[in-house]
Amino acid sequence: MRGVEADAVALASSARPGATCTVRAWHGGLMSPHASPSRGLPSGGPSPAHSRSRAVWVVAVVVSLLVAAAGVTFYLTRASAQPSAQPSPTPSPTATPVPAERVDPPAVLDPTSVENLEIHQESTADTGDARSVSTVAIPGEHSLARAFGRFVDGTTQAYESAIDPDAVGNELNVGWDLVLAQGDVLGVHASTYAFTGGANGDVGSQTFYTDLPRATTTWSSDLLTADGRKQAAEWAGAALAAEGLGFSEPVPSSEDTFRDVRLGPDGAATLVFSPGLVSARADGELAVRLEPDATRSVLSAVGKQLAEVAASGAPFIGIAPPPAEEPPVAAQPPASPDAPDCSVLRCIALTFDDGPGKYTSQLLDTLAEKQARATFFLVGRSVQANPDLVRREVAEGHAVGNHTWSHPDLSKLGTDQISQELQSTADAVEAASGVRPTLVRPPYGATSDTVTSVLSQRNEPAILWNVDTEDWKNKDSAMTSERALAGARPGAILLMHDIHASTVSAVPGIVDSLRAAGYTLVTVPDLLGPDLVGGHKYFNR
């Protein structure tokens, strides 16, 4: 039987595309361009029992140190004042300054600054093995999708080999941010969080640079030559040591160390390290900036070419929209302005999670054609990338709810992280559609006392479900329909996902069959009414 220790080794020893799993802390950074992990503070303080005589001793020691320092200064001054004197017998340690310094981790770009990105979201609805994988691709360009896919595959394999299938709370979350959009280059940073038992999860990271016209994607560590990595690792170690950070052993020059290299507008590269990679986990995410000259000396040919683009100041060339244009927002007004009376009618609510995605527009066409209303629980990151689809959902009379920014298991997060997941998503939905969502569907249906208390404070109810079509698992239209119809009863809330083609193809049949059975399809607000209690869980009417 494999223990926790062996699991950590299995994860850490994964091949290149795997997660960087020397790290054991969720730093809340999967979603957050702004969050910076807090540094661990040493506990304890001066004892109130310090005696007066000890204070006298401290003063005495300080004074003698000052005297000694003055003597050394006098000696050095005298030595340097002699014009033809021999070199100082003890050369100053600052004679060769390290061309690197610790800086704050660089900010990421606003994802809406690049239009027409293709976003893929995959997730399970299983709290025992909760997975949410969000990736990004460039329509018509395959190298980024391939590279990101390899990274996800490696991360997933490492996760699968580490999980104990009998344990609860396993979680894999993959997200991304944009870190460069300049000239013809797009930089994407992928981040992973894997929890497979123990006290903390594993955080991993990988940055890619895609040259659009050449359709090539470079992994971050390939920006440096092998010798360059050795040199940069040394400089990074010195820069961290100067601030009392880092481990006692040298920073390794392996590819793992250089999974996240950012290229700046001034020709400087910044090395970003996940918590625990090059220093104690409590030190949080760390970054070291290499001066432009130092950067040039360690870059590979492709690294130099990409760094030049990053420093060019040239605007991003942009991404052409995919050939198949989204149909325009339907002009028809909402089908029925009055809410149906669910105390009389056989009402049922179809809910679609994890979008908007690439099948959402097809689903909206179906619902418009059938004049059926549904409720969409939206992932903030996808909302920000596809605001038009959210606008269309609202314009066509559907309800929208909050499904968090990065689809984490909220039951593992603290108050601030939960709030930020909800707040950023509500902001994105409001910016896209003009409507601020108040219904929350926690990913995987996972809640905790902390989640409940945050929701109470925000006055937002948790909307769960009582019919699970398991569409994410079966990915089969016939099975999804069968489960939907078998579970249907008045007042039910059905769980589906509009990120699966099989689900979206099943919807016309589901709508027809439910209507044939006398059901009225309504939104969740229409089903449950206006007087919902913040923090309360609703599974059905």
For residue 142, the Cα-to-chain-centroid distance in whole angstroms is 22
User: Measured from the CB of residue 391, what is the shortest distance to Ni ion in angstroms?
Assistant: 21
User: Measured from the CB of residue 25, what is the shortest distance to Ni ion in angstroms?
Assistant: 24
Residue number, 7 or 468, with CB nearest to Ni ion: 468
State how far the Cα of 222 lies from the Cα of 325, in Å rounded to an integer: 36
Residues in Cβ contact with 537 at an 8 Å cutoff, skipping those fewer than 6 apart: 447, 461, 462, 464
Cβ contact 121:133 at 8 Å:
yes
Residue number, 159 or 208, with CB nearest to Ni ion: 159
**By C-alpha distance, which of 48, 10, 25 is closest to 204?**
25
Residue number, 154 or 443, with CB nearest to Ni ion: 443
Kindly tell me which residue out of 443, 445, 461, 535 binds Ni ion, with binding defined by CB under 5 A: 443
User: Measured from the CB of residue 540, what is the shortest distance to Ni ion in angstroms?
Assistant: 18
344, burial (CB in 10 Å: exposed 0-12, middle 13-18, buried 19+): exposed
CA distances 178 to 117, 208, 316, Å, are 11, 10, 12
Residue given tokens 């007004």 in the structure block: 333
Residue number, 446 or 527, with CB nearest to Ni ion: 446
Residue number, 398 or 500, with CB nearest to Ni ion: 500
User: Measured from the CB of residue 462, what is the shortest distance to Ni ion in angstroms?
Assistant: 13
Footprint (CB under 5 A) of Ni ion, residues 449-468:
none
Binding mask 161-200 for Ni ion (x = CB under 5 A): ----------------------------------------
Select from 20-28, 123-131, 173-181, 449-457 the region that touches Ni ion (CB under 5 A): 123-131
User: Measured from the CB of residue 312, what is the shortest distance to Ni ion in angstroms?
Assistant: 40
447, burial (CB in 10 Å: exposed 0-12, middle 13-18, buried 19+): buried
Q: Which amino acid is at 228?
A: G
Cβ contact 286:262 at 8 Å:
no
Structure tokens at 1: 């039987």
The DSSP result for 379-420, as a single string, is -HHHHHH-HHHHHHHHHTT-EEEE--SS---GGGS-HHHHHH
User: Measured from the CB of residue 340, what is the shortest distance to Ni ion in angstroms?
Assistant: 27
Query: 10 Å Cβ neighbour count for 264?
Result: 17
Cβ contact 375:354 at 8 Å:
no
User: Measured from the CB of residue 323, what is the shortest distance to Ni ion in angstroms?
Assistant: 29
Buried b (16+ CB within 10 A) or exposed e, 460-478: bbbbbbebbbbbbebebbe
State how far the Cα of 343 lies from the Cα of 347, in Å rounded to an integer: 8
Select from 188-196, 272-280, 348-356, 533-541 the region that touches Ni ion (CB under 5 A): 348-356
Kindly tell me which residue out of 353, 409, 421, 498 binds Ni ion, with binding defined by CB under 5 A: 353
274 touching Ni ion, by CB under 5 A: no
Residue number, 123 or 205, with CB nearest to Ni ion: 123
Give, in degrees to the nearest 5, the angle at Cα 324 between 318 and 327.
105
Q: Where are the alpha helices (DSSP H) in 14-134?
A: 52-81
Footprint (CB under 5 A) of Ni ion, residues 384-423:
none
Residue number, 354 or 471, with CB nearest to Ni ion: 354
User: Measured from the CB of residue 377, what is the shortest distance to Ni ion in angstroms?
Assistant: 7
Residue number, 353 or 396, with CB nearest to Ni ion: 353
Structure tokens at 214: 């050449």
State how far the Cα of 135 lies from the Cα of 119, in Å rounded to an integer: 6
State how far the Cα of 43 lies from the Cα of 45, in Å rounded to an integer: 7
Select from 64-72, 119-127, 145-153, 340-348 the region that touches Ni ion (CB under 5 A): 119-127
Select from 169-177, 207-215, 354-362, 485-493 the region that touches Ni ion (CB under 5 A): 354-362
Residue number, 354 or 393, with CB nearest to Ni ion: 354
Select from 20-28, 53-61, 345-353, 499-507 the region that touches Ni ion (CB under 5 A): 345-353
CA neighbours closer than 13 Å in the CB half-sphere of residue 335: 15
Select from 120-128, 180-188, 282-290, 291-299 the region that touches Ni ion (CB under 5 A): 120-128
- Provide the annotated active-site residues: 353, 497
User: Measured from the CB of residue 37, what is the shortest distance to Ni ion in angstroms?
Assistant: 25
Residue number, 223 or 496, with CB nearest to Ni ion: 496
Q: SS3 letters for 198-248?
A: CCCCEEEEEEEEEECCCCEEEEHHHHECHHHHHHHHHHHHHHHHCCCCCCC
State how far the Cα of 24 lies from the Cα of 203, in Å rounded to an integer: 6
Residues in Cβ contact with 5 at an 8 Å cutoff, skipping those fewer than 6 apart: none
The count of residues interacting with Ni ion (CB under 5 A) is: 4
Kindly tell me which residue out of 123, 170, 295, 360 binds Ni ion, with binding defined by CB under 5 A: 123
Q: Which residue is nearest to Ni ion (CB)?
A: 353
User: Measured from the CB of residue 98, what is the shortest distance to Ni ion in angstroms?
Assistant: 46
Kindly tell me which residue out of 118, 122, 354, 396 binds Ni ion, with binding defined by CB under 5 A: 354
Select from 92-100, 144-152, 261-269, 437-445 the region that touches Ni ion (CB under 5 A): 437-445
Q: Which residues here bind Ni ion, judged by CB under 5 A?
A: 123, 353-354, 443
